[in-house]
Amino acid sequence: MIPSTVPTSEQGIRDLSTDERVRRAFQFFVERAEAITAEHVAICEIPAPPFGEGARAELFRRKFRECGLQEVEIDVEGNCLGLRRGRELHPLMVASAHLDTVFPEGTNCAVRREGGKLFAPGIADDACGLVALLALARALNAAEIETEGSLLFVATVGEEGKGNLRGVRHLFEAGQWAGEIDAFLSFDGAGSQSITHRALGSRRYRVIFKGEGGHSWSDFGVANPVHALGRAVARLVSYPVAASAGSPRTSFNVGRIEGGAGVNVIAREAAMDVDLRSESAAELQRLDAFFRRAVRAAADDENTARRGNSAPLDVDLQLLGDRPGGETPIDAPLVQLALAATQLIGVRPQLDCSSTDSNIPIAHGTPAITLGAGGLSAGSHTLSEWYDPRGREEGLKRALLVLLGVVGIK
């Protein structure tokens, strides 16, 4: 459990920040700014495509040991973990960031500098979160801060896309520390303003329509997988999200389609990848049911319209990802602590809803939030992604206050 001594008031967090050891840690972030940025660049330039995070995990195994963490390991799912043990094991708080990027194998990850900005795929999402883990561990050591509770540093796999949060799922459901974690903090991207305390639920599908195919002229009338796919998309976009555009916000997206062999060929197969999201679990369930009905109806309509002697289409509906929603309530000590820490560094906090590693601990009833790791960024998930380290130290100061607010100083 999170102890009742967590400083959730403005005065409480100010008292924590004036501790001489905390002030020395703050100074570490300022004095080591260039070294932190150099390490940030080195992390980013190690490719970590989906399901290919091994090289970065090995780097973090070495780095965690250099930071003096105990019980350092790469678990069976690929997460890298290291424990900074306090006077007691509990409260045990996780500080995490994800190893993977959205970019496929072969993407050029070399960092280019233009002025004060760093340009590279994944430089902000989530290389800046990863380097924050190391900066925090080193600052705690440099300031000789001993804690009452313990900190578990985790670099997770599978946060992006089809990874389906596999790393943090394993941590909470099958890992060595499952059932032991009292609080969870994920660093994801840049910024010092947002506090993600609500988990955006999502469901992701691949839909494959399959038929016998044929010639566009001589076999016209044969059930066409591409036509069925078009019918399904048309039905999906008719879903009435306008009524839920305010609260809860809901969205859908057909992000990828493929199929066919030529302009004069009736395809044997057509497929699409679909993303469904909502802030409301009930609304997501309604959207999900509507989408599945739309897929079946599209196949039925195309089969009804087919030439009598052609075989009906088959439909393969594959669930690619299922991310649970939920929230850590605003009045929870962890959220109040993050609000107070954000205000202390002179930033107006912004409560947020997003899909991050925090989805899983929230679903398991563990207090969890996601924070930016400081600095500025834009172009996330694009090849033109950039990060500006100016203001990074403010994000790191906020993060340190949140961690120490939960585990306490010895």
Write the pLDDT tens digit of every residue in 144-155. Answer: 999 999 999 999
Rounded to 5°, the CA angle 234-240-245 comes to 125
Residue 246: pLDDT band (50, 70, 90) is: low
In the chain, what are the helix, strand and coil shares in percent, each to the nearest 5?
A: 35, 25, 40
Write the pLDDT tens digit of every residue in 84-132. Answer: 999 999 999 999 999 999 999 999 999 999 999 999 999 999 999 999 9
CA–CA separation, 360 and 362 (whole Å): 5
Q: What's the mean pLDDT in 38-59? A: 98
Q: What is the 3-state secondary structure (H, E, C) of 105-116?
A: CCCCCCCEEECC
Under a CB-based contact definition with an 8 Å cutoff, are residues 142 and 24 in contact? yes
Fold of 10-199+325-407: Aminopeptidase (3.40.630)
Specify the residue for token string 């130290």: 393
pLDDT surpasses 80 at 336: yes
The residue type at 156? T
The dihedral of CA 370, 374, 376, 377: what is its sign? negative
CA–CA separation, 359 and 165 (whole Å): 8
Would you give the DSSP letter of residue 245? Answer: S
**Where do you find CATH 3.30.70.360 in the chain?**
201-323
Report how far apart, in Å, the C-alpha atoms of 202 and of each of 26, 278, 325, 364 are.
38, 7, 8, 16
Specify the residue for token string 């306490």: 408
**Coil/strand/helix, residue 51:** coil
CATH: 3.40.30.10, 3.30.70.360, 2.30.42.10, 3.40.50.880. Which one for 201-323? 3.30.70.360
Report pLDDT for 4.
82
Write the pLDDT tens digit of every residue in 222-237. Answer: 999 999 999 999 999 9
Write the pLDDT tens digit of every residue in 163-222. Answer: 999 999 999 999 999 999 999 999 999 999 999 999 999 999 999 999 999 999 999 999
Which long-range contacts (C-beta less than 8 Å, at least 24 apart) are formed by 294-298?
294/232, 294/235, 294/236, 295/207, 295/232, 297/231, 297/232, 297/235, 298/209, 298/228, 298/229, 298/231, 298/232, 298/235
- β-strand pairing of 386-388 with 376-378: antiparallel
Cβ contacts of 236 within 8 Å, gap of 6 or more: 252, 254, 274, 290, 291, 294
pLDDT surpasses 60 at 244: no
**Coil/strand/helix, residue 243:** helix
Supply the pTM of this predicted model.
0.92
Write the pLDDT tens digit of every residue in 299-324. Answer: 999 999 887 777 899 999 999 999 99
CA–CA separation, 386 and 241 (whole Å): 32
Report pLDDT for 247.
67
Report pLDDT for 308.
72
Q: What's the mean pLDDT in 230-246? A: 83
Specify the residue for token string 């940025």: 37
**Crossing angle for the helix pair 127-142 and 20-31, nearest 10 degrees?**
130
